[in-house]
């Protein structure tokens, strides 16, 4: 099954336990496209999705995604909560508020991604909660009623994923982003290993809240332009604020973009701490696509500087795409690789 959490989310609707409301659109937070949405008219569904590959899949399915304005309420709010606890609680609290006085909140998650815990979180906001378990997932739903969205708990959970300063105010970050409240050891090793002669136009692939890009600008005065590519809009918006503070003169661009689709410009250098598919059999597919996208966009002689967990085997892809590949550093379970096109 392609997306068991999505299939499970629609079980109460398919079984008639909680029918699809008529007359007003349904709100879908962290929406993903897939088979259960095929019969639904785009006018019946308001989708919100900040992760570009999922937003692109919704568009391809004829559905649009947009940030949902505060204040609107919906008869049904569907949610696919993220893994990170504070971010998930904030999303459930938003869903409860968006359900207004009579709407239903319905959420689903894989058992291995904390479905039981999420169900009890929804129960803390509103009860009773009904649930069905299937496909190694759990769908759970409740009708919060008039006061739940105004409760102190709901308001305080809604603020749980708000942007905040971290590392003595050096960066703004928020729960749910990669290494959101610290600097990842691999990113730190890459920052420390950056050559200071990077020049011209560069890119950071999977830029997060901007730590690595900031390190490039601080270390390499000959960089003229730097493009930050990031699929998660919640991160990109903070990268913009974080990089806005730097004194470097380089021209900056911030691209909400799925790197696996290739890059839109050519570059003299690229840096990246690529994501890997957590919990998937082929963990390295995403990283390999990042390497291929970098190779496709670098000019002849252009340089890729990459950090990876030491056990992730990127060498064959690097060797196929680049003329020279060499290890620059190896410490604490991470390796830094420089590849020249």
Torsion of CA 292, 295, 325, 341, to 10 degrees: 160
CB 92, min distance to ligand SAM, A: 21
CB 252, min distance to ligand SAM, A: 15
User: 137 and 109 in contact (C-beta within 8 Å)?
Assistant: yes
Size of the site for ligand SAM (CB under 6 A): 20
Site for ligand SAM in 49-108 (CB under 6 A): 53
How far from the centroid of its chain's Cα atoms is residue 172's Cα? 16
Q: Which helix (H) or strand (E) holds 244?
A: helix 233-244
Q: State which residue, 260 or 292, has the beta carbon closest to ligand SAM.
A: 260
Q: State which residue, 119 or 230, has the beta carbon closest to ligand SAM.
A: 230
What track of x and - describes contact with ligand SAM for positions 272 through 291 (by CB under 6 A)?
A: -x-x----------------
SS3 of residue 6 by DSSP: helix
User: 58 and 47 in contact (C-beta within 8 Å)?
Assistant: yes
| 73: Cβ contacts below 8 Å, ≥ 6 apart | 98, 99, 100, 101, 103
Query: How far is Cα 34 from Cα 260, in angstroms, rounded to an integer?
Result: 20
Q: How far is CA 197 from CA 21, 221, 222, 284, in A?
A: 60, 8, 7, 30
Q: How far is CA 89 from CA 9, 114, 175, 242, 258, in A?
A: 18, 12, 11, 25, 26
Query: How far is Cα 300 from Cα 309, in angstroms, rounded to an integer?
Result: 27
CB-nearest residue to ligand SAM: 206
Q: State which residue, 57 or 95, has the beta carbon closest to ligand SAM.
A: 57
CB 154, min distance to ligand SAM, A: 28
CB 204, min distance to ligand SAM, A: 6
**Strand intervals (E) in the chain:** 26-29, 45-48, 76-79, 104-110, 130-134, 137-142, 164-166, 171-173, 200-205, 223-230, 251-256, 267-272, 298-309, 324-331, 334-340
Q: State which residue, 141 or 211, has the beta carbon closest to ligand SAM.
A: 211
Site for ligand SAM in 186-205 (CB under 6 A): 187
322 binding ligand SAM? (CB under 6 A): no
CB 201, min distance to ligand SAM, A: 18
Site for ligand SAM in 207-266 (CB under 6 A): 207-208, 211-212, 229-232, 235, 258-260
Stretch that binds ligand SAM, among 36-44, 128-136, 142-150, 206-214 (CB under 6 A): 206-214
Q: State which residue, 155 or 310, has the beta carbon closest to ligand SAM.
A: 310
Site for ligand SAM in 149-188 (CB under 6 A): 178-179, 184, 187
Which residues of the shown chain bind ligand SAM in the complex (CB under 6 A)? 53, 178-179, 184, 187, 206-208, 211-212, 229-232, 235, 258-260, 273, 275
């Amino acid at each position: 099954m392609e997306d068991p959490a999505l299939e499970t989310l629609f079980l109460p609707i398919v079984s008639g336990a909680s029918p699809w409301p008529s007359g007003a659109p349904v709100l879908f937070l962290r929406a993903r496209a897939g088979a259960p949405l095929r019969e639904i008219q785009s006018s019946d569904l308001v989708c919100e999705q900040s992760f570009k590959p999922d937003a692109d899949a919704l568009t391809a399915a004829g559905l649009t995604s947009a940030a949902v304005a505060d204040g609107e309420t919906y008869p049904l709010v569907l949610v696919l909560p993220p893994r990170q606890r504070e971010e998930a609680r904030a999303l459930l609290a938003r869903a409860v508020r968006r359900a207004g006085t009579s709407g239903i909140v319905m959420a689903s998650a894989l058992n291995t991604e904390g479905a039981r815990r999420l169900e009890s979180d929804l129960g803390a906001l509103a009860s009773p909660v009904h649930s069905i378990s299937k496909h190694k997932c759990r769908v759970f739903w409740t009708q919060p009623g008039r006061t739940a969205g105004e409760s102190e708990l709901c308001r305080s959970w809604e603020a749980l994923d708000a942007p905040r300063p971290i590392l003595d105010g050096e960066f703004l970050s928020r729960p749910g982003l990669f290494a959101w409240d610290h600097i990842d050891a691999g990113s730190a090793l890459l920052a420390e290993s950056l050559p200071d002669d990077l020049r011209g136009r560069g890119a950071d692939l999977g830029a997060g809240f901007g730590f690595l890009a900031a390190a490039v600008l601080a270390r390499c005065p000959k960089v003229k332009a730097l493009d930050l590519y990031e699929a998660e809009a919640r991160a990109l918006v903070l990268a913009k604020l974080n990089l806005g503070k730097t004194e470097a003169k380089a021209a900056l661009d911030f691209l909400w973009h799925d790197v696996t689709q290739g890059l839109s410009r050519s570059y003299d250098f690229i840096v990246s701490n690529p994501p890997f598919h957590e919990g998937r059999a082929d963990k390295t597919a995403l990283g390999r696509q990042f390497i291929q996208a970098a190779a496709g966009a670098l000019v002849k002689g252009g340089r890729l500087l990459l950090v990876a967990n030491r056990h992730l085997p990127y060498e064959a892809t690097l060797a196929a795409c680049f003329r020279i590949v060499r290890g620059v550093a190896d410490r604490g379970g991470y390796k830094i690789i420089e590849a020249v096109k």
